[in-house]
Structure 1
Amino acid sequence: MGNVFFGFIVFFGLVILITGIFTVKQQSAAVIERFGKFLSIRNSGLQFKIPIFDKIAGRINLRIQQLDVIVETKTKDDVFVRLKISVQFQVIREKVYDAFYRLQNPQDQITAYVFDVVRAEVPKMRLDDVFERKDDIAIAVKSELNDAMSDYGYDIIKTLVTDIDPDIQVKEAMNRINASEREKVAAEYEAEAERIKIVAKARAEAESKRLQGQGIADQRREIARGLEESVDVLNNVGINSQEASALIVVTQHYDTLQSIGEETNTNLILLPNSPQAGSDMLNNMIASFVASNRIGEEMKKQNEARGIEPKKKNKPEKPRNENRDDFLDYGDDEYVS
């Protein structure tokens, strides 16, 4: 009988010992009550309480927590918008008693203050200002929450406006406005690029025309010099200037025909054309020169019969047009003004 009683005492002692020992996790605290009255706050580690008399009333998380609050309100320009406010808060270690006993539900309390501040600040702003000044909203929420929640043992670490969601129709309108602005800027850049290309093309064409004109002028100058040298050579062998000019024209005519014949893909047709075209051209030119000389001689005889002496003046230099880079030839006759 004694052994049974002793065993019961030992078993009862073990139960009491086991139920009296407990642990508290890191970054947390345990609130101990005795007969329903606050006794103490136990921090992390191995702890002991008196069984039956003491009990753990609750445990407080001392880590930083986050509460997301979604608030729907209206802006100054009558646009309904939903804001997501993220509140990061923490229980103050020295005020665990206030955090545990003074607030029944701290999340609801924080949510109420967030609603109050956001619905007081956002209606003062236009929709664009809400996006631009979201940090101002977050600072106002944090300031209000710190003033209110510090008395209850809570420290507001940070508040963030993590999302701004206007009405779907408003977002579509904003997207259209943004797209139109970007299209406008793109059109301006495209127009500027087109203008630059047109100016560059015009400058290139102007430079090309200038060089082309300079080339043509140089070509005409060299042709004129060649003709002059050819006439001088023919004069040295007894051919007068008129016959030399006719011969040069005929030679150029045959050179042209040869150039046309060398081009196999050309569509050029020279009309009229015949084997005797060159000789006919030479005969016609010589006949015209002879007729011109006869008319000149007849006019000279008529003037002499009337007693009119021909005026003699010095032959002027052949004028040169600097702009056209060519020569004006007045022939071998005397120049009378």
Structure 2
Amino acid sequence: MDLIIYAILGLLALVVLLGTFFTVKQQTAAVVERFGKFTSMRQSGLQLKVPIIDKIAGRINLKIQQLDVIVETKTKDDVFVRLKISVQFQVRREKVYDAYYRLQNPHDQITAYVFDVVRAEVPKMKLDYVFEKKDDIAIAVKRELNEAMMDYGYDIIKTLVTDIDPDIQVKAAMNRINAAEREKTAAEYEAEADRIKIVAKARAEAESKRLQGQGIADQRREIARGLEESVDVLNNVGINSQEASALIVVTQHYDTLQSIGEATQSNLILLPNSPQAGSDMLNNMIASFTASAQIGEQMKKTNANKEEKVKQSSRSQRDKESGYDDDGLEDGWIE
């Protein structure tokens, strides 16, 4: 019998001991009630309470928490879009009583305010501006939540618009527009590059032709100067200009034949290549020069005769208009 009494007393002592001491974790607050009435708020560490009479009604998390809210709404240009709003909030230590007793479900309360603000702000904007002004939407949500939740002991740390997801068909259309713009820009750059290449090539060809023509002109000038010097040298030794020209033509003719013969794998044949070729070419040139000179002299004489006839006709017309006859006497007078 005594053993049973001791066991009961020991059990009661254990219950009293366990009901007296309790611990509160870091960044947590414990709400203590006595017979259903709030008595105190306990912070982290080892705490005491009256066993059986006092009880822990609940614990409040004092850490920064995050609530993700997905809102579907319509923009000003009638595009449905889904926005993900991340709300970071924290219970204020001096407002633990309000946070525990005044709100039944703070997450639902915050979600309701986020829906209200987003659906009031986004319909004022076009889809492109929603992407550009997402920070403005986040600021509006934070401002509204701070005003509403401050009285309930909650502090809104930050709000973020973490995702903007338009309707899948709208997203595909936007991607096509973006791709078309990029293709257009790429085509413009490619066309500009081709134009630059064509202009550069044309300038290079023009410069090449100019230099080639200048080289040919310089070459012919030097050849003419060399021929002139050769003719002067031959004249000094008693060879007249016609003989000197024939000698130069024949010499160049045979120099050309020699250079062709020295070249390997050459299919070029110089025609005519007989010994009289040089003389024939020279005679033909001299005959052409002589005929050209004769034609030029004849044309000069013809032009001079025409000019003389025109002058005589003009003098006769002036004499008739002034009243003198062909003998130089005035009409009606006989000398």
Shared fold (TM-score, shorter chain, > 0.5): yes
**C-alpha distance 215-288 of structure 1, shift in aligned 2 (>3 A):** closer
* SS of residue in 1 equivalent to 2:276: helix
Residue 4 of structure 1 deviates from its aligned partner by 5.3
Tell whether the 8 Å contact from 2:74 to 2:81 is kept in structure 1 after alignment: yes
- Of 142-151 and 205-214, the range deviating more from structure 2: 205-214
Which residue is 2:30 aligned to?
30
**C-alpha distance 15-173 of structure 1, shift in aligned 2 (>3 A):** same
Aligned partners of 2:285 and 2:217: how far apart in 1? Answer: 30
What TM-score results when the alignment is normalised by the length of structure 2? 0.80
Aligned partners of 1:290 and 1:27: how far apart in 2? Answer: 123
- Of 229-238 and 150-159, the range deviating more from structure 2: 229-238
Does residue 71 (structure 1) correspond to residue 68 (structure 2)? The answer is: no
Residue 189 of structure 1 deviates from its aligned partner by 1.8
Tell whether the 8 Å contact from 2:253 to 2:278 is kept in structure 1 after alignment: no
Tell whether the 8 Å contact from 1:243 to 1:286 is kept in structure 2 after alignment: no
Residue 160 of structure 1 deviates from its aligned partner by 0.2
Which residue is 1:145 aligned to?
145
**C-alpha distance 147-288 of structure 1, shift in aligned 2 (>3 A):** closer
* SS of residue in 2 equivalent to 1:51: coil
Residue 6 of structure 1 deviates from its aligned partner by 4.7
Residue 106 of structure 1 deviates from its aligned partner by 0.6
Deviation sequence 1:258-297 (CA, Å, 0-9, x none): 3333333445343x344xx13243156358859999xx9x
Which residue is 2:282 aligned to?
285
Deviation sequence 1:134-187 (CA, Å, 0-9, x none): 001001111111111111111111000000001111111111111111122222
What TM-score results when the alignment is normalised by the length of structure 1? 0.80
Aligned partners of 1:155 and 1:291: how far apart in 2? Answer: 113
Aligned partners of 1:138 and 1:273: how far apart in 2? Answer: 97
Does residue 246 (structure 1) correspond to residue 243 (structure 2)? The answer is: no
Residue 7 of structure 1 deviates from its aligned partner by 5.3
Tell whether the 8 Å contact from 1:242 to 1:286 is kept in structure 2 after alignment: no
Tell whether the 8 Å contact from 2:29 to 2:42 is kept in structure 1 after alignment: yes
Count residues with an aligned counterpart: 291
Tell whether the 8 Å contact from 2:73 to 2:122 is kept in structure 1 after alignment: yes
- Of 121-130 and 208-217, the range deviating more from structure 2: 208-217
* SS of residue in 1 equivalent to 2:275: helix
Tell whether the 8 Å contact from 1:91 to 1:155 is kept in structure 2 after alignment: yes
* SS of residue in 2 equivalent to 1:52: coil
Unaligned runs of 5+ in 2: 294-335
Aligned partners of 2:35 and 2:77: how far apart in 1? Answer: 59
Which residue is 1:319 aligned to?
none
**C-alpha distance 124-4 of structure 1, shift in aligned 2 (>3 A):** same
Aligned partners of 1:140 and 1:220: how far apart in 2? Answer: 87
Residue 95 of structure 1 deviates from its aligned partner by 0.8
* SS of residue in 2 equivalent to 1:63: coil
**C-alpha distance 103-233 of structure 1, shift in aligned 2 (>3 A):** same
Does residue 89 (structure 1) correspond to residue 86 (structure 2)? The answer is: no
Residue pairs, 1:249-268, within 5 angstroms: 249-268=249-268
Which residue is 2:316 aligned to?
none
**C-alpha distance 164-141 of structure 1, shift in aligned 2 (>3 A):** same
Aligned partners of 2:198 and 2:289: how far apart in 1? Answer: 55
**C-alpha distance 77-269 of structure 1, shift in aligned 2 (>3 A):** farther
Q: Which amino acid in the other structure matches residue 62 of structure 1?
A: L
Tell whether the 8 Å contact from 1:99 to 1:152 is kept in structure 2 after alignment: yes
Aligned sequence identity (%): 78
Deviation sequence 1:217-246 (CA, Å, 0-9, x none): 221111111101111122223221111112
Tell whether the 8 Å contact from 1:69 to 1:114 is kept in structure 2 after alignment: yes
Q: Which amino acid in the other structure matches residue 22 of structure 2?
A: F
**C-alpha distance 63-193 of structure 1, shift in aligned 2 (>3 A):** same
Q: Which amino acid in the other structure matches residue 225 of structure 1?
A: R
Residue 13 of structure 1 deviates from its aligned partner by 1.6
Deviation sequence 1:198-229 (CA, Å, 0-9, x none): 22222222322222222222211111111011
Tell whether the 8 Å contact from 1:253 to 1:278 is kept in structure 2 after alignment: no
Residue 35 of structure 1 deviates from its aligned partner by 1.1
Which residue is 1:18 aligned to?
18
**C-alpha distance 112-262 of structure 1, shift in aligned 2 (>3 A):** farther
Tell whether the 8 Å contact from 1:146 to 1:155 is kept in structure 2 after alignment: yes
Aligned partners of 1:17 and 1:204: how far apart in 2? Answer: 103
* SS of residue in 2 equivalent to 1:278: coil
Unaligned runs of 5+ in 1: 297-337
Looking at secondary structure, tell me which structure has more helix per residue.
Answer: 2
